[in-house]
Amino acid sequence: MLTFDIQKNPKQAYISMALLLAALIIFPFAAAPFGNSWVRIADLALLYIMLAVGLNIVVGFAGLLDLGYIAFYAVGAYMTGLLASPQFATVLESLINMNPAVGEALAAMLGEDIRTNGIHLSVWVIVPMAAALAGLFGALLGAPTLKLRGDYLAIVTLGFGEIIRIFMNNLNDPVNITNGPQGINLIDPIRVFGVNLAGEQGSRATVFIGSFSMPSVNAYYFLFLVLTIATVFVTTRLQHSRLGRAWVAIREDEIAAKAMGINTRNVKLLAFSMGATFGGVAGAMFASFQGFVSPESFSLTESIAVLAMVVLGGIGHIPGVVLGGALLAALPEILRHVVEPLQMKLFGKVLIESEVLRQLLYGLAMVVIMLTRPAGLWPSPKHEERPDADSDSKGQSTGVMAA
């Protein structure tokens, strides 16, 4: 049986993980005969999984319903857009137009190269910066919500997400920072160890490593796979630590947590921050992968999509969240490839577009799961021995749980 529960059955868990890893590594090569699109779907799914695992820290561990999580994805993506594309040249230009004195001074400081070509930092700088910036935003956006109860926290975080999106959509005048609704183009692809993951010019998106070659989507796949594994690893470690326990304590009973000496304000801020950093890194990857960013990728719909993944998979249980992410990210894409042609064959026309199907899936996922299986498809396995008739005293509680 496939299991990832290290505590209960370590040997089997590690074997399962090894098997899964092998399958994941083989996947792009197995999918090759069917075209690049499947690996591309997997690339995007991996990004979503990173987001879901990051959101799980906030929603799953700490119990804070963040509906504006996509804002951190946007921060990472737009930061990359500004610092790894020609966009900064445009920023300077518009700044010079608005305020020549300041603009020229800044341009002189940064140099002619940046003025014409923009800033192009390497991925090794961009990723930590994206993580740090997103983490900072996480704390900033979380700070006003610390005293709020669940529903209000959700709405306020939603508001923040929307505010970020509105700013991204409109910060193009007078100084053109985000290039408004059109977004930022020509974002540098990722270059590691001299290898351009989008493939060199004229190679038709093929990446050459030594004598080995693979399509660009495969190269990104392995990069994202490594990052996703790292994300899962880090969050798992966080879960089983003093900090992880503090998060769950706050989720279970904040007053008791305080009484036990937990500085709930700081611990909550940490939850927001840490969750946000994963969003930021995923955002940076997204920007480089896609080559452009625009505000429509960061709407409330996306925040809710990531939330749906966490909820569907199993709030708080990392393997469940990964499953939820994989299902909800890949399924609509798979459906798009399958359902529409199928409908054509069966009915002669498309009754339900894949877009509609996607939304239907997300909506149903949330409602049905909450009504029937609120712990999710794959909740944490219970380790304790279930109480049975002979080990528990009679005269059970009079409904004592937390007031």
Site for another protein in 138-157 (CB under 8 A): 144, 147-152, 154-156
Binding pattern to another protein, positions 293-312, x when CB under 8 A?
-------x---x--xx--x-
Alpha-carbon torsion 200, 205, 206, 207, what sign?
positive
Q: Residue from 105, 344, 364, 373 that binds another protein (CB under 8 A)?
A: 364
Q: How far is the CB of 276 from another protein (least distance, A)?
A: 13
Is 278 a binding residue for another protein by CB under 8 A? The answer is no
Three-state secondary-structure class, residue 213: strand
* Residue 237 CB-density burial (10 A; 0-12 exposed, 13-18 middle, 19+ buried): exposed
Site for another protein in 206-265 (CB under 8 A): 234, 237-238, 241-246, 248-249, 252-253, 255-264
> Which residue, 10 or 374, is less far from another protein as judged by CB?
374
Q: Residue from 162, 196, 229, 331 that binds another protein (CB under 8 A)?
A: 162
Site for another protein in 76-135 (CB under 8 A): none
Q: How far is the CB of 8 from another protein (least distance, A)?
A: 11
Q: How far is the CB of 83 from another protein (least distance, A)?
A: 22
Site for another protein in 59-78 (CB under 8 A): 59, 63, 65, 67
Specify the residue for token string 């496939």.
2
Specify the residue for token string 């009973």.
253
> Which residue, 23 or 370, is less far from another protein as judged by CB?
370
Among 107-115, 218-226, 337-345, 367-375, which window interacts with another protein (CB under 8 A)? 367-375
Among 106-114, 119-127, 166-174, 196-204, which window interacts with another protein (CB under 8 A)? 166-174
Tell me if the bond preceding 387 is cis, omega within 30° of 0: no
Site for another protein in 381-400 (CB under 8 A): 382-387, 392-393, 395-398, 400
CA–CA separation, 301 vs 144, rounded Å? 23
Site for another protein in 314-343 (CB under 8 A): 315
Q: What are the tokens at 148?
A: 């709020």
Q: How far is the CB of 4 from another protein (least distance, A)?
A: 19
Q: Computed over its alpha carbons, how large is the radius of gyration of the chain?
A: 23
CA–CA separation, 130 vs 293, rounded Å? 15
The residues, ordered by sequence, that sit 6+ positions from 377 with a Cβ below 8 Å of its Cβ are 312, 313, 314, 320, 323, 324, 327, 369
CA–CA separation, 114 vs 345, rounded Å? 55
Would you tell me how many other CB atoms lie within 10 Å of the CB of residue 137?
23
